[in-house]
Amino acid sequence: MERRPKIVELKDRSAIYLPKRVTDLVDEYIGLTTFEYMTDGIGLIDTFAESFFEHCLDAQKASRREEIFDEIMRRLRKVK
């Protein structure tokens, strides 16, 4: 199940309550979860799994996602 559209929708609805520095980090996080793959729609060409695992195993992206998550959580605790 694709959760990214739900996260984007929730972020957009929450943007009026959250500082821009938080929503900008959420946007960056969403960007780091996005990857591209090729498919012909009938199964002969489908690089989804390969692209997914290459993306997940990218150490730099994984590290940055973790940093962003921690920073978002810190900033949300300060929002009142």
Q: Give per-residue pLDDT as tens, 23-73.
A: 999 999 999 988 889 999 888 889 989 999 999 999 999 999 999 999 999
What's the 3-state SS for 4-51? HHHHHHHHHHHCCCCCHHHHHHHHHHHHHCCCCCCECCCCCCECHHHH
Terminal alpha carbon distance of the chain = 33
Q: List residues bridging with 39 in a β-sheet.
A: 46
pLDDT at position 7 is 85
pTM over 0.85, yes/no: no
pLDDT at position 41 is 86
Residue 39 phi, psi dihedral angles, 5° rounding: -150, 145
The residue count for the chain: 80
